[in-house]
Chains A and B, each alone.
Chain A
Amino acid sequence: QVRLQESGPGLVKPSQTLSLMCTVSGGSVSFGHHYWNWIRQPAGKGLEWIGRMYTSGFTTYNPSLKTRVTISPDASKNQFSLELTSVTAADTAVYYCAREWDDSSGPYFDSWGQGTLVTVSS
């Protein structure tokens, strides 16, 4: 059973960079055929996919955030990270990391972290 756990600062100042880490246990970020994703949810609102990283390190981002987002692996620690630059209050949200699994029924997010709240405020 794979487990994911987000970590990082809960408060970020406007215009600064939001940095989060996702620690994976029971699976590998650098082996297998999975995508490792970041998804966020503003309070009381729906889910927004931020981007993903394949086990090879290849990344794909949501075009709406592409100019500000970087997702990268740390294979030595079995982690992957999210960096979001030039944040504003609109980036305040619960941030989730999640694995996308692909089987005969197609791709789906089968494992999620518990989520971490990041507030952008001075």
Chain B
Amino acid sequence: DIQMTQSPSSLSASVGDRVTITCRASQTIITSLNWCQQRPGKAPRVLISGASKLQSGVPSRFSGSGSGTDFTLTISSLQPEDFATYYCQQSYSIPRTFGQGTKVEIK
């Protein structure tokens, strides 16, 4: 199985801050990396696919980058609705695996 490791596990930030979350795969996954957001009590929703493709309806303040084993999700200016948990997920091989999550909290 490909292990996905996110950092940090949690962070506190203020509205307007720039936030960066990193994800590392235990082996190369090229760009087969997706990011999803999960608000409390809700199902996850995809934000970015293929490491950098912004999904329809997702605000442009979200961006993704990286390839191989190291990836980044950036929120350029944190908004109140962005306080949530973020997961990376590899779609390179079976079984599909997720990072442990990064909880973004209000400072």
Q: B43: which A residues are within 8 A, CB to CB? A: 96, 98, 112-115
- Say if the beta carbon of A58 comes within 8 Å of chain B: no
A106's partner among B42, B49, B95, B99 (CB-CB below 8 A) is B49
Task: Check B32–A49 contact: CB distance below 8 A.
Answer: no
Contact status of A46 and B31, CB under 8 A, knowing A105-B53, A115-B43: no
- Say if the beta carbon of B63 comes within 8 Å of chain A: no
User: Count of chain B residues with Cβ under 8 Å from any Cβ of A?
Assistant: 25
Distance in angstroms between the alpha carbons of A64 and B89 in the assembled complex: 18
* Shortest Cβ gap from A40 to chain B (Å): 11
Task: Check B95–A47 contact: CB distance below 8 A.
Answer: no
Task: Check A49–B101 contact: CB distance below 8 A.
Answer: no
A49-B96, A106-B32 known; 4 new pairs, CB 8 Å cut-off, are A37-B96, A103-B49, A105-B49, A108-B46
Chain A contact residues, CB within 8 Å of chain B: 37, 46-49, 60, 62-64, 96, 98, 100, 103-110, 112-115
